[in-house]
Structures are given as structure tokens and as C-alpha cells.
Amino acid sequence: MNVIEAMKNRISTRAYLDKPVDREAIEQILDAARWAPSGVNTQPWQVAVVRGEVLRKLSEEFLRLAAEGVKPAPDYDYYPGEWIDPYKQRRFKCGMDLYKALDIGREDKEKRLQAALNNYRFFGAPVSLFFFMDKRMGKGSWLDMGMFIQNVMLAAREYGLGTCPQASTADYPDVVREKLGVSGQNLLLCGMALGYPDEAHPVNQYRTAREDVDAFCQWY
């Protein structure tokens, strides 16, 4: 697939086919992604590939914690404590467009709750990738991790696979580390649903808008 095409056609896939993903395909995706740049070639990324029974048990644990009202305790704050425009407006439109695609009304609290909990079901994907980084690394390594994660999503397109990067599946990092036997020295950045997209599902017709180049670029 053309690189520009892969970049423009990548979406956050939120519905997947009940179809397994071959280990070889995942290995090839990670083999391509590892060529991402990193400061002085530190290569800070660590990946846990979770499938099958382990994935099911993680999903059940997330849902149990949510049902019991256990407050998420991620390793870092993904979002700001206070929203300001234009970010507040973009966030609102993103949410409203998603609910519209799912045919969920503004007052339908139960359907909204189930839509949110679908994050903990990995949207039905057969694979989740969890991205870790040593807590001792500096802020520059966060940039490296972002470039690596983007490489994973773009490489997945070559294999006809969809992805959805998920901050939500890092809501309970201690649970993930315990279930996977990952050291507490490793910070959990996010998960990523991976699988074959259900192209017919309405949620996968949903698209978020992007600002024109002139809106964020100044020439000197």
C-alpha cells in the first residue's frame, strides 16, 4: 500500500470480524515498526501481544472493575485536567459524531455506557498490543514511542488489518502488569486493538475531521 494512502485511510477501527490474525502477520508488522527513529537509538519500546484466553480474562477484569466503580488509575494523565478551546470543541464534536454513527441519543445513558465499556472489550478485536516503556526514560522517549506506535498502525494497513489505539485499556495498568507478568518498572502507555475490520458496521463509517494545513502551519 502507498504510504500516503495508508496515512490518509487509517482510522480507529471500533468493530472487528471474528477472524484470527496470524502470528506471522503480527511479527511482520512489528518487524517493520522497529525501524522507527529514537533518540540516540535508545529504542525504548516494549510490546506485549495478547490474544485468546489471556485477552478474554483481561477484558473480564476490566469490566468487573468498572462495574464495581473502581476508579481508573493510569500511569499518567492522557488528557488535561481542564479543557479549553479549540480542543474542548473538537472533543465534543468527536463524541457527538461517534454517538451519531452508533445511533445513540444524547439522553440514552445506558447505550452510552455500553459504548464506553466496549473499549474494555477491545471492540471485539482478537488481538491487543500493549505498549510499555521503562519509567526511567525521559520525555524524549515519549516521542519515540509515538513514532513507533504510528509505524505499527501504518504497517497493519499493508496486511488489511485495522487498529484502534486505546488509552482506555491502560486505565488499570497494575492489573495488566500483574496478568502479563510485566515488571512494575515499565510504564504502560496504551493498548491497541488489532484485527480485521468489520467494514459493514456503522461505527467504521465514522470519520473525524482534520484541520487544513493553513490552520496549524505558519511559514517564515
Other beta carbons within 10 Å of 126: 19
Angle at 208 between CA 50 and CA 216, to 5 degrees: 110
What span, in angstroms and rounded, lies between the C-alpha atoms of 106 and 123? 21
Position 108 confidence tier, pLDDT thresholds 50, 70, 90? confident
Domain ranges of the chain: 3-207
Determine the 3-state secondary structure of 103 from DSSP.
coil
Res 106: pLDDT: 79
Does pLDDT of 65 surpass 90?
yes
- Residue partners of 128: CB distance under 8 A and separation at least 6: 50, 51, 55, 58, 122, 166, 169, 191, 192, 193, 194
CB atoms within 10 A of CB 153: 23
pLDDT at 126: 98
Helix boundaries (H) for 107-160: 109-117, 140-158
Check residue 200 and give its pLDDT. 94
Residues 11-34: tens digit of each pLDDT: 999 999 999 999 999 999 999 999
Omega before residue 37 within 30° of 0, cis = no
Q: What angle do CA 145, 149, 153 make, to 5 degrees?
A: 170
Q: Are 193 and 164 in contact (CB under 8 A)?
A: yes
Q: Report residue 42 as a C-alpha cell.
A: 535508545
Cα–Cα distance between 74 and 62 in angstroms, integer? 13
Per-residue pLDDT at 107 exceeds 90: no
Residues above pLDDT 70, as percent of the chain: 100
Q: What pLDDT is stored for residue 78 in this prediction?
A: 95
- Domain boundaries 3-207, CATH class: alpha beta
In this structure, the strands spanning 127-134 and 186-195 are: antiparallel
pLDDT at 212 over 90: yes
Give the number of residues written for the chain: 220
105 falls in which pLDDT band (50, 70, 90)? confident
Please say whether the beta carbons of 29 and 211 come within 8 A. Answer: no
C-alpha cell at 181: 507478568
Would you give the distance in Å from CA 144 to the centre of its chain?
16
pTM of the complete model: 0.95
Parallel/antiparallel/unpaired status of strands 162-166 and 127-134: unpaired
